[in-house]
Structure 1
């Protein structure tokens, strides 16, 4: 085993009920997945919602108790582990403000994610390790090493983690090249799941997890999102899972759009079907949407395709 990956075998973990604690291995697996998805593109790792949500997904698989995930612990204590021998430096180096460097040892470990983010919002992965994790073959080797070393007590858990990581690598390849998400209706079931995961991830991130109609944005304490990824032109008709064929919507508004009660138009406004009776008080939540602006992603490349918006408006109930 090459030394750049060998440092992963020396990561120190605590133990719970006689088994290795999953915190650090889950964080490292989350980082590997995010590198392979193209979300982390340098040794500098932002402590953002996407990484934390990925950590929660893996922790839930490993421990079965999503609500007990404590991401601030591995984000903090991973800095005590050393990088590849002969390269110097720690495996994980938080970017601390200069004022904190002098007193950091006196502060103790953070007790919440908010408290950790007041200390740092990014850290640097050891560059030699990062360069290896950019390569899919090495990333797969690193993931297998972590899973085998820390989760081998249960064959069922090994299988679950294997399936999760296989899908993460496959969906990550689509995320790095979204044009692959159009026009491949003959995909295998495994590819379909990977495409669907990539579509959801790209759409929700493009909209910053905010509903394109109601503007609601809510992430639960255990990092579940209120919004869903909704197709403009249904996949069965378009074979298009590119994020420009999608919107982030709350479940009720996703349902309303799929049932042709509301539609976003090329004018970037919401339109409500005349079939919705405005005189019925229970319909107010839909009627008030009429004429409201469509929330758009900040990056122009992710904004919804005008032809897809026109298709959706043409299919509004009349």
Structure 2
């Protein structure tokens, strides 16, 4: 075993779920290519990952309290120095330790919104095999789980780490899937993560963005050309949509077109008041990701428009 992982055995924690869950979340995000340096942004994606792991362990997510491990992890040692060093704002830095434990995520963000993971530990966690070993070490050393809970965690980690490999190489997500069901789950998870992140968790039709306090997203990842037809899980074959608009698109009532505008089926009666929410979408612009490489492909948009009910 990589000696740099020994520090993970020494996490000081009064709760077996907080620091171990945060460290596993960080490891998963490193493997997904979302965390690319020792500097770790405390963004929506990392926080959602932490809540997912907490829910896997505890069966609920409302008591996850991410500010606790994000604050207290700085008391632990890494292989080359502090395990976790918050990037305090200049005015807070001299007073940070005197302020005491934050009582909410907002209070924590008033002090820092990024931190630095021990550089040697970060380097070791680049390798997929080492990352998997690190997660197993944390699980078995800190989490005295019932067999069912341990089984859930093991399944979650297998899919999460395999999904990370797809996220780093999204072109692998095109073509016939002949892998085991676990790999299919991993591809699906990678598709969802890449699409929602590309659209900043905002609906491509209405631009509505809502993330619950326990980090659930309102929007869903919708295939433009269904996977059963295209075998294509690349993010360019997807949009982020609210559930009602995802349903409407899948039922060919609305469609985005190559003109990057929304089109509404003529079978919808605009005179019926209950149809207004769909009719108002006609000719509205398609919201696009900032990253041009994540823009929906013209071929996928053309296919979707061709399916619109006439």
Partner of 1:182: 174
Q: Does the aligned pair in 2 maintain the 1:167–1:190 contact within 8 Å?
A: yes
Aligned to 1:18: none
Query: How many residues are paired up?
Result: 310
**Does the 8 Å contact 2:87/2:112 carry over to 1?**
yes
Aligned to 2:206: 214
Per the alignment, residue 76 of structure 2 pairs with 81
Partner of 1:279: 271
Moved over 3 A (4+): none
Q: Which of 97, 106, 117 is 1:105 aligned to?
A: 97
What's 1:139 paired with? 131
Taking the aligned partners of 2:2 and 2:289, their CA distance within structure 1 comes to 42
> What is the alpha-carbon distance in structure 2 between the residues aligned to residue 306 and residue 282 of structure 1?
32
Partner of 2:302: 310
> Is 1:157 aligned to residue 159 of structure 2?
no
Q: Which residue is 1:8 aligned to? A: 8
Q: Is 1:35 aligned with 2:12? A: no
What is the rounded CA distance, in whole Å, between the counterparts of 2:34 and 2:296 in structure 1? Answer: 21
Mapped to 2, the partners of 1:2 and 1:170 lie a distance apart of 21
Q: Which runs of 5+ in 2 are unaligned?
A: none
In structure 1, C-alpha distance between the alignment counterparts of 2:229 and 2:97, rounded to whole Å: 59
State the partner residue of 1:67.
Answer: 62
Q: Give the Å deviation of 1:60.
A: 0.8
Please give the alpha-carbon distance, in whole angstroms, between the structure 1 residues aligned to 2:84 and 2:72. 9
Residue 27 of structure 1: how far off its partner (Å): 0.1
The unaligned stretches of length 5 or more in structure 1 are 16-20
Alpha-carbon distance in structure 2 between the residues aligned to 1:12 and 1:154:
22
Structure 2 Cα separation of the partners of residues 217 and 94 of structure 1: 28
Does residue 289 (structure 1) correspond to residue 281 (structure 2)? The answer is yes
TM norm structure 2 = 0.98
Q: d(CA) in 2 for partners of 1:244 and 1:187?
A: 22
Alpha-carbon offset, residue 194 of structure 1: 0.7
Instruction: Output the aligned Cα RMSD.
Output: 0.9
Q: Which residue of 2 aligns with 1:49?
A: 44
Q: Deviations over 1:9-57 (max 9, x none)?
A: 1110104xxxxx3000000000000000100011010000000000000
1:147-203 deviation digits (Å, cap 9, x = unpaired) = 001223311111111000000011110000000000023232111111110000000
Task: Give the secondary structure class of the aligned counterpart of 2:62.
Answer: helix
Question: Are the counterparts in 2 of residues 151 and 157 from structure 1 also a CA contact under 8 Å?
Answer: no
TM-score (norm 1): 0.96
Could you tell me whether the CA contact under 8 Å between 2:219 and 2:242 is conserved in 1? yes
- Local SS of the residue matching 2:110: helix
